[in-house]
Amino acid sequence: MIKPITDNRNQKTIPQHVAFIMDGNRRWAREKGFFPLKGHQIGEDRIEPIIDKAIELGIPYLTFWAFSTENWQREKKEVEFLLNMFRQDLAKRVDSFHQKNVKIRVIGNIQMFPQDIQQNVNDWMEKTKNNKLITVNIALSYGGRDEIMRAVEKWRAGLKFNSAKAKQNSKLKKEDLEQYLDTFGQPDPDLIIRTGGEQRLSGFLLWQSEYSELYFTKTLWPDFTPQKFEEALSEFQKRQRRFGK
């Protein structure tokens, strides 16, 4: 079990895992008079400074929701734009993350992507697998219900593969399912931050968010700075977490 981490500057417990719903890219672009898709590029630029701040504070896990299963339903032009960002811009980011000793994990239904992006994803994770400073999950083609369904299917496939195990473990248990979740081996998020003003999770990390603290801000993601991040962490430190007790 991972021990709580403290920020030496104020001796208050800081979260082990912070997850982000990065909302508001297109609205930000429209407000600034830019082409809407420009907001996605600017939004991507905001990820690395947040990672740097987390490293400074000693937060060991971050998750960024970059593309949902529902995003496939957007206009073809926007989807292609995002796919090309993953092919080009995000690949360059991973090189920078690797130099900073960042371990990259990609979570989500990766099989929905074109083959070249699937290969890129595998290359990113292989390249950074031994990095230990911080683990950053990038959620691509991710949906909470989809993750749970995929986990159940993996469990069922495991039973079919091992008939002896199937006889002994025909009933699905909580700990069995958790082994097949995308974030297996990681702590559940202590804090989930959603930018853009909406106050809902939209299916993000449904299983893992059972006791997550939620922080909603009207700040659009391209305006979410490391200072805004620290404000969210300060609010988190004021809360009392009872975990149902």
Residues with a catalytic annotation lie at 23, 71
- Angstrom distance (rounded) from CA 188 to CA 194: 16
Is residue 62 within 8 A of residue 19, CB to CB? The reply is yes
Polymer length of the chain: 245
The helix/strand/coil state of 141 is strand
Residue ranges in the chain assigned as alpha helix (H): 25-32, 38-45, 47-57, 76-87, 89-99, 115-128, 144-161, 163-168, 174-178, 226-238
Q: Are 92 and 169 in contact (CB under 8 A)?
A: no
What's the burial of 19, exposed, middle or buried (CB within 10 Å: 0-12/13-18/19+)? buried
Per-residue CA distances from 216 to 61, 113, 169, 228 (Å): 20, 30, 41, 12
* Gap between the Cα atoms of 95 and 102, Å rounded: 10
- Which residues contact residue 128 at a Cβ distance below 8 angstroms, ignoring those fewer than 6 apart? 94, 97, 98, 102, 103, 104
Helix (H) / strand (E) element for 130: namely none
